[in-house]
Structure 1
Amino acid sequence: MELLDRITDYLIDNELTLATAESCTAGLIISELARVPGSGQSIDCGLGVYSPQSKNRYLGVSFDTIESHGLTSEAVASEMAAGALNNNDADVALANTGIAGPNPGDDDTPIGTVCFAWAFRQNGDHHHYCETRRFDGTRNEVRLAAAHYALERLPHYHRLCLESAAKGSEEARSRQARQRAIGVQLHARSEIDPQHEIERRRDFLCRKMQESGQTTLVLGISGGVDSTVAGRLAQLAVEKRREQGGQARFIAMRLPYGVQQDADDADKALDFIQPDDVFDVNIQGASDTLLESLVSGGLTIEDAGQRDFVLGNIKARQRMVAQYAVAGARGGLVIGTDQAAEALMGFFTKYGDGACDVAPLTGLNKRQVRQLGMQLGAPKALVTKAPTADLESLAPQKLDEEALGVSYEEIDAFLENREVSSQAFETIVTTYRRTAHKRDLPIVPD
């Protein structure tokens, strides 16, 4: 108990709360610490995550990382710790993955090998540390030794974290840790196999239709690369579902506000996608009427700019209202086109284009969405088209990059854990923090 008492005191004295992501120890770290009376005030949560699927689902560990480095690796442990820190309110996260026995790992990793990661949140920065150790003994002896070792090393790495935070020379290291942690949270990958991703995401849509019992997929087509790629994946998914003997159709929706300036691009996208059905719904009447009703009901619009902002959000939400109306009438799932670049920057309307049932492009950056488009054979003009949300009446076809204040090239580099300029880094991280509410579930009482 001496170790457990000492670590509990350390956590309390330093006002730290702990989260764990445990593979081979399966919750033993938290269980051991909980033996100490009063330790609960320093425990946030403990996750036991054995399978690759659970590591990915609950912690955002990349399957690419698992495949490249193996389950028993510091790379996997580091992403586990990053996920535990990002997904909870803890100040420190401990993670481990290893082989407790009785058999060696699939890659002949010796019994008793355990990879550890300690992640700390300090003044908005994340600090990560990793180790690999080998323990002797039976399966449960290895598990207990690993749990105690993870706790024993916590004060050491916390002190290193404090020292690093105090040194300006460590700024770049902290930036890298923060950048990597955000990428993990958004399921971003440095490299992809486009054909594999096409098949994986098509099968995802097909599987979700089967599991939900729904027979229709619904998606608004704008003429941009995101909706073009998502639309083609949807059509491929319903065709596969029909081959399996199920009933399935894809409804593509044209949702212009008045006259769409790039209507030709939407037509080209539909010609490429070849959807089962196309519905054309003009949202201008509903959008304008709602804004007029708000003004009549007492809403004061300060100026033309504010009016344009309010109307832009109404447009995005009216489009989603229309898609959900069709999905409700046809037994369908609404597809979202959100990908990692837009998720990173919060560049979507909450409960507008950010609302959906399934999001098949999740984790892809803009460059990777374009890779899928090229692999699918989409028209090059659509694949390379400069993105625009086109919600501002005062600035029609305004480029996304102009609104974001940073280029997609820099956003993609950030998500791929490559170096970006200091200005781009600060813009991205500040925006990511400011738009956190868009990515979270509704706020509830503590």
Structure 2
Amino acid sequence: MIPNDIKSYFPILNQEVNGHPLVYLDSAATSQKPIQVIEAITNYYNLDNSNVHRGVHTLGNRATDSYEGAREKVRKFINASSTQEVIFTRGTTTALNTVAAGYGRQNVQEGDEIVITYMEHHSNIIPWQQLAKEKGAVLKYIDLEADGTISLEKVRETITPKTKIVSMMYVSNVLGTINPIKEVAQIAHENGAVIVADLAQAAPHLKVDIQDLDVDFAAFSGHKMCGPTGIGVLYGKKALLEEMEPVEFGGEMIDFVGLYESTWKELPWKFEGGTPIIASAIGLGAAIDFLEEIGLDNIAAHEHKLAGYAMDQLETIDGLQIFGPRDPMKRCGVVTFNLDDVHPHDVATVLDMSGIAVRAGHHCAQPLMKWLQVTATARASFYMYNDEEDVDRLVAGLRSAKEYFGDVF
């Protein structure tokens, strides 16, 4: 169960916006931070601020213990087999680019195939577009079903023995769809391909067992899972990471530097050039502690229930279209919609005047917008700190928006 006083853990929620209590429904863009995370970062700067790994003094040792302790927390959180498989990055985007540049350039040749889906975030499209152009490879898309889900039949039709990389989000940031990533991984491996999992929307909301999913690489961001901005994780199977060359060079990631040749540190540090993202990694560790205290299964159950309630209530509004699977068990806490004859930006602006924060636009998913045959959508995304009262406020706000624009036009 989600604690009844869960909102009290998040200081930012205790405020008014435009004269109304804040209803924050934009967690798919970034989640709010509990006081435990804020205090962990503050304590680092107040008590332990020092660079890691290189020093032998007390502050340096404490900072190093906290930084590497955060790596172990990530390892346990996703059930990686070793901390050598956990690399800290600036976020999901950096992690995906590292795989495309580090693994892709070494292993993709002219005529090879790279397979993604129409629902991908731009950060999981553009790196593969650039790699395909550079190598003369073929970029292929798995088509979607009418409800925004993926069928394994179409996966099998698209992935072939020529496929070298499959990259797919576990959970859609627009449709909320939970994709069959484990089954897709099996199909990819049967064809000799590696699979990259974008976990940006999954890690905050679902219990992820990376060994059970059997993906080869995975990426996620701290700021979407109650952690700070500027920190993310690249997971990779140890054997693959050992074969890869680093893509960023400098201090920290080297073993020996000569005048004309250098050698790299062992995993994971060969991919972490320069001063690491120390404070944010410590904050991410605190966020993982918080999520595990609440329980990922509890979070998922809460969001499934809330998404179902939201869709039931939104469907009572004439002229409102919901995108993505209708079954709340097939989606996380994201409900994307449009109101007839009202631009999503106008909808979001009117809602904001009532203190309700939603996202409007293409959500960094323009190919999906084209597939949906719209230019933009409005999106309400829920997290553990939302409840049915928040949904009721959203529905009332949308009714007001519909009345307002009906009067205008």
TM-score, length basis structure 2: 0.28
Q: Which has the higher contact order (CA 8 A, sep 6+)?
A: 2
TM-score, length basis structure 1: 0.26
Larger radius of gyration: 1
Q: Quick check: which one's helix share is greater?
A: 1
Q: Quick check: which one's strand share is greater?
A: 2
